[in-house]
Chain A
Amino acid sequence: MTLDVSAIKKDFPLLERDFNGKPLVYLDSAATSQKPRAVIDAMSDYYENYNANTHRGVFGIAEQATNAMEGAREKVRSFINAPSINEIIFTRNATESINLVAHSWGRANLRAGDVVVLTELEHHSNIVPWQQIREERGIELRYIPVTDSGHLDLDDLAATVDGAKLVSISAMSNVLGTVTPVRHIADIAHAAGALVCVDACQFVPHLPCDVIALGADFVAFSAHKMCGPTGVGVLWGHEALLDAMPAFLGGGGMIRDVTLQGFKPAELPWKFEAGTPAIAEIIGLGAAVDYLSAIGMPAVRQHEVELAAYTLRTLKGRFGDGIKIYGPSEASERGAVFSFGFGDLHPHDISQVLDEHGVCVRAGHHCAKPLMRKLGIGATARASLYLYNDESDVDALADALAAAADFFGL
């Protein structure tokens, strides 16, 4: 294996703990990742040693807090190769980042009849905000279809994006694991005059991300899926675009001046950061970026491709047609997230038995109901892996599945 996973596991306090005498087999990183000690410590350090509000204090610890927060912004900028720190907006999560685009850019630019293109594999976070704008503005939504193999069907892409103002797509499906051809879609979208918004919630934690190479105009992601804390997300956008957009939430922090007659917004990035930010969490995100950078995102990706190949091989080898794994069958075309059906067992029952064996998987629709409908299923079980998982975790999953088959008499 590319990564020294046994050393990495030791960085994560929760993975070191015993649950009923055994370490936890955590296979739900697509929902949220575990946090390394460095992240937890960075946040405690802020609270214990320099807790103060940012940007307005002149005293020492306020300046220290401001520097730490702005330092995290620079770390994030460099991590995704953004041209300027003015383009790194801290939000609460990816959902809020997409809502910011929909409500600020969308309201300023979308009129009745305008077209926004999504795909059938989107998370609800990248569907509902656009449906809200549709209700308000009467825009048209089009969807790039998904094929049976779990890929985007791009045959009619040029026609689909023709006349569109925006194409908003996931870079990696949280259900199928499909890594989508963002650059290819972006090129065609740009040729048609559309902007491109990328839901990179499952992408940034797992693959090297260069927002310029990706061809994106906006990129949204959450800290909590990339070893960082909950409560902070990122929106990146081209500076000129962000500059031209109206502020989203109003209040303290986002203004240059306020009179009784009106307000002037602050410069970027603060224009979009109303209210006291999640200072500790932003500092924690900075530590998460340091952690991932030290390991190296190309190595993380390579590890996950190897692990995905091992998982596909192991589950197919042990259960044959008894297991149905959704999404691409090639490890190189996907991330290490596996939605599956097992015999005729309901995902709830699968995850219940797995839990008994200390294996954490998720059961449900994974916030992608349109995709589940397309696949013709109500729910799946989903195992999702990360840099701290290795073959032993996959074997534990397979053993627990075998026990479930036994228990329910498959």
Chain B
Amino acid sequence: MPGLEDLYREIVLDHYRSPRNRGELPVPPSHRAEGFNPLCGDEIVVYVQVDGDTITDVKIGGQGCSISQSSASMMSAAIKGKTIHEARALTRAFKSMMSIHETALEGDDPEMAAANLAVKLGDLEALRGVARVPVRIKCATLSWNTLAQGLDEAEAEA
């Protein structure tokens, strides 16, 4: 089953079976955001702890399919210790791998946009196969959209 192996890389299944950073964080001081995929009932809860500019801790709750769960798990591992700015750049890079090209945000200079594309996706590359299965792209991006809500909240408060 070559198609399946492309979608469900070993590392994706590993994150699905042993999700990283599962759990909750106290709110406040953390921020909690909830994402929902009405199509399939997947739910993701993202807790982010932001100190100054840095994401010092992340926890993931909720339930869903292997793609949404492993994407959330990989995301949590990738953004922990990063700045909000870096996490947003990673989000854009991930979404562009999913063929979602968001128009540059106001204030983004073109050089920054180009730099986003160069962001290292690392393990997240393993989800590239999802882009070829359009109905699953929403599963892969659910946690990222939820993270964005959490970060917006954290920044609004800061």
Chain B residue nearest to A372 (CB atoms) is B41
Contacts of A356 in B (CB 8 A): 1, 3-4
In contact, A348 and B136 (Cβ under 8 angstroms): yes
B144 at the interface (CB under 8 A from A): no
A306 to B36, CA, bound (A): 39
Interface of B is mostly: mixed
Tell me if B65 counts as interface (CB < 8 A to partner A). yes
Q: Cβ of A347 and Cβ of B40 under 8 Å apart? A: yes
B4 touches A379 (CB 8 A): no
The interface size bin for chain A is 10 to 19
Which chain B positions have C-beta within 8 A of A409?
13, 17
Contact status B13-A408, CB under 8 Å: yes
The answer to whether A378 touches B1, judged by C-beta atoms less than 8 angstroms apart, is: no
Residues 349-371 of A, flagged 1 when their CB comes within 8 A of B and 0 if not, give 10011001000000111000000
Residue contact B8 to A348, C-beta cutoff 8 Å: no
How many angstroms between the C-alpha atoms of A296 and B8 in the bound complex?
Answer: 45
Closest to B7 in A: A352
Q: Which of A348, A365, A379 neighbours the largest number of chain B CB atoms within 10 Å of its CB? A: A348
Task: Name the residue on A nearest B64 (C-beta).
Answer: A346
Knowing A348-B139, A356-B3, A365-B41, say if A407 contacts B66 (CB, 8 Å).
Answer: no
A157: shortest Cβ distance to chain B, in Å? Answer: 30
| Cβ contact within 8 Å between B1 and A346 | no
- In the complex, A379 Cα to B3 Cα: how many Å? 24
Question: Across the two chains, which residue of chain B brings its CB closest to A353?
Answer: B4
Contact across chains for A378 and B3 when beta carbons are under 8 A apart: no
Which residue of B has the minimal Cβ distance to A403?
B1
**Is A407's CB under 8 angstroms from B1's CB?**
yes
> B86 an interface residue at 8 Å Cβ cutoff?
no
- Whether the pair B65, A346 counts as a contact (CB closer than 8 A) is yes
Whether B4 contacts A352 by the Cβ 8 Å rule is yes
Task: Give chain B interface residues in 1-22, CB to chain A under 8 Å.
Answer: 1, 3-4, 7-8, 13, 17
Write out the residue numbers on chain A whose beta carbons fall within 8 Å of the beta carbon of B104: none
The answer to whether A407 touches B41, judged by C-beta atoms less than 8 angstroms apart, is no
Residues of chain A contacted by B3 (CB below 8 angstroms): 356
Residues in B whose Cβ lies below 8 Å from that of A377: 41
Give the residue of B4, B13, B40 whose beta carbon is less than 8 angstroms from that of A348.
B40
Does B42 make an interface contact (CB < 8 A)? yes
CA distance A7 to B13 in the complex (A): 43
The residues of B that contact A408 with a CB separation of less than 8 Å are 13, 66
Residues in B whose Cβ lies below 8 Å from that of A346 = 40, 42, 64-66
B residues near A347, Cβ cutoff 8 Å? 40, 65
Q: B112 at interface (Cβ–Cβ under 8 A)?
A: no
Complex: A254 Cα to B73 Cα, angstroms: 58
24 A-B residue pairs with Cβ-Cβ distance under 8 Å, sorted by A, are A346-B40, A346-B42, A346-B65, A346-B66, A347-B40, A347-B65, A348-B40, A348-B66, A348-B67, A348-B136, A348-B139, A349-B65, A352-B7, A352-B136, A353-B1, A356-B1, A356-B4, A364-B39, A364-B40, A365-B41, A379-B40, A379-B41, A408-B13, A409-B13
The 9 A-B residue pairs whose C-beta atoms are closest, nearest first, are A378-B41, A346-B65, A348-B65, A379-B41, A349-B66, A379-B40, A356-B4, A364-B40, A356-B1
Q: Which residues of A contact B (CB under 8 A)?
A: 346-349, 352-353, 356, 363-365, 372, 377-379, 403, 407-409
